[in-house]
Amino acid sequence: MSDKPVQYLLYTHPHVESTGGASAFPESALVIASSQTHEALVDASSDLAGETRRRLRAADDWSAPPRVPAEVVIGSTLRLVDGKHTVELLPLQGGHYPGHVVVRIEAEGFYYVGSLISTDRNPFADVVHSDLRSWVNALNALSVLRPETIVPLRGEPVEADRIRRFRDSLVWVVGQVENAFIEGVATDEILAFAMDSPKLAEYFDLEADPSFVDTLFRSAFEQALDERRKREVP
């Protein structure tokens, strides 16, 4: 850790796990976020603490910290040069949350990926905003870049093979839901059908509390249902 003052504070996405501690930083720190994150933060009606509440034992006794709005809002790649390194901020179109920002120091092969990858727990999907297909595409793109160091928001740094394993778990969830539709399973039984597989325990920690696995299947289900409505598929 450096003893130098914090110059920049980046929100990877608007969930409380990314933005909740902002008020503890000096007011002089320049807060940066994607346009989607900025819009979510200034919308008082947006619920950004769903994941945090599920992890708390006494959620009723907890209240979300104050929101600190972004001062620099980006819609495309932003480069910050500190004299030694060029730091790139790369907003994504979709995935865990639209506009999720990845930090890259290309010369070092370093990537800070926020909540694109979870290493200490099962991934959480925001059913309203998460897009599992875009999430998979983002992980594919990251894998192609052959990063040397990958740092998630939570957990230990990971190697490239962990990206592929994580991606495969999301692909499997999407495939399970799609297969349920193809098999003609009743809509109100699709989630139970899709999750009823011995492979579930191969991809996810079923002893975790909360497991968040249901959020992944629910997100995949809602997305598949929406696509069928658009195509007028029964």
Domain spans of the chain, in order of start: 8-231
Instruction: Give the span between the Cα atoms of 32 and 44, in whole angstroms.
Output: 19
Specify the pLDDT at position 1: 61
Specify the pLDDT at position 160: 83
Instruction: Give the span between the Cα atoms of 78 and 70, in whole angstroms.
Output: 15
Non-local (6+) Cβ contacts of 9 within 8 A are: 22, 25, 29, 30, 31, 32
Q: pLDDT digit string (tens) for 25-58? A: 999 999 999 999 999 999 988 888 888 877 776 6
pTM, 2 dp: 0.89
- Across residues 72-77, what is the average pLDDT? 96
* The CATH number of domain 8-231 is 3.90.1170.50: no
Q: Which residues pair with 74 in a beta bridge?
A: 34
